[in-house]
Chains A and B, each alone.
Chain A
Amino acid sequence: MNHRHLLPDEIDLLLDDDEVGFGATPLKAHIRDCVDCRARVDEARMIVAELEDLPHFAPSYNFANRVMAQVPVFVPWHVTARQTIAQFIPQSRSARIAVAGLATAVASVLTVGLLWISTQTDVLVVASGAAGSQMRGLIFDAGRVVLSTVVGDQMFAAIQRTGQVGIVAALLGLAAAAGGSIAGLRALAIASSRRRA
């Protein structure tokens, strides 16, 4: 029998069932023979058992509500989109097959149509030219409406006198001001939420 009594660290080693390695074998052999050390290990195990039996305390019944009052729940856009699409998908299998068949037929017709158009170069040139001028017109009209609304009719008339360059410059300035405002507001919101956190 080994007459050296166990050190506190060695007693501790015997308390961790999941951590005990080969080094514990002689310690276990020692406590089998040494009444004093066995008593000390038993006492230490009793304290561990008491610790493990400690109950969990419950917060007040309203705790979850108080937490949730300060946690804004957002549904991300991709989840909203998925849920919206899911609303249009029929529940029954046969209806789903019918809808899938119809969607395939429509997609096939559109694909064939697009392929045919892409082979007609002259039609493409005319159509893209017409679409381009139409788009330009729409953008300029929208820009004029925005500018006249923001700066007023008299100021808009003054800008218009400088020609297209003036209108474009005014629109770019407006866009820059709007962008700056959005960035500033975003920075403020982030700083505020960090302070709250």
Chain B
Amino acid sequence: MPPALDLLNLPDADVVALAQQGRETAFRELIRRYERPVFSLIYRMVRDRELAEDLAQDTFIKVLNHIDRYRPEFKLSSWLFKIANNVAIDHLRRRQLDTISMDGSPHAQTADAIEATSFDVVVDQESALDELEAREMGTAIERAIASLRPEYRSCIMLRHVEGRSYEEIAATLDLPLGTVKTYIHRARHELRRALEHLREDSG
């Protein structure tokens, strides 16, 4: 029987090495460390809790089933975010959800166009979970993020929510560094524009 280890204080690479040796506790520790960041990234991409859980589950299953292929020179978190982003983008492409927004098309230029492309969701008996979901995703900044193109969304979240450098984001998303910078600059610009009305209201 292998001795018990304090997995909490081990770096990712060591926990992965233990997982590669077939220790279930190491697999669980990796899930514990990254379930929230991975789930949050996917949730903000697809904006549906149940679906986000399924996609986050797929992400972990893909990574943990191939843990023997992990290369220590690459950050585990980058690998996880890469798979999570691919899973979410694939889903959005399949469902073409990126063109549907409750707040109207992101390409609409005028107030009339925004109104014409927006829709209201009327739910008579909102469950407690739905209410919670609406509340947690309902802040202005969350709504502004949701109106971004999916590529911008993943870049801006990796940059500012996960605190990754431009180089790490480029490696994670398999994008050229210049493209990542452009996406983040455009995303910030769109966020500023989307949140401008709040400043005007409070000003």
Contacts and interface: CB of A to CB of B under 8 A. Distances in A.
Interface string A147-176: 000000000000000000000000000000
A63 B56 contact: yes
Contact of A59 (B56, B141, B145, B195): B56
Interface residues of A, number: 37
A145 to B, nearest CB: 37
A79 B35 contact: no
A73 B22 contact: yes
Q: Which secondary structure dominates where chain B touches chain A? A: helix
A50 B141 contact: yes
Interface residues of B, number: 44
A176 B184 CA distance: 59
A168 to B, nearest CB: 40
Contact of B21 (A44, A47, A75, A193): A75
Interface string B166-180: 100000000000000
B39 interface: yes
Contacts of B43: 57
A75 B145 CA distance: 43
A9 B166 CA distance: 16
B160 A52 contact: yes
8 contacts: A12-B185, A51-B156, A54-B142, A54-B160, A56-B40, A63-B56, A71-B65, A76-B21
Interface of B: 2, 20-24, 27-28, 31-32, 35-37, 39-40, 43, 52-53, 56-57, 60-62, 64-66, 136, 141-142, 145, 156, 160-161, 163, 165-166, 184-185, 188-189, 191-192, 195, 199
Shortest 7 CB-CB contacts between residues of A and residues of B: A75-B22, A51-B160, A56-B36, A59-B39, A67-B60, A71-B64, A64-B31
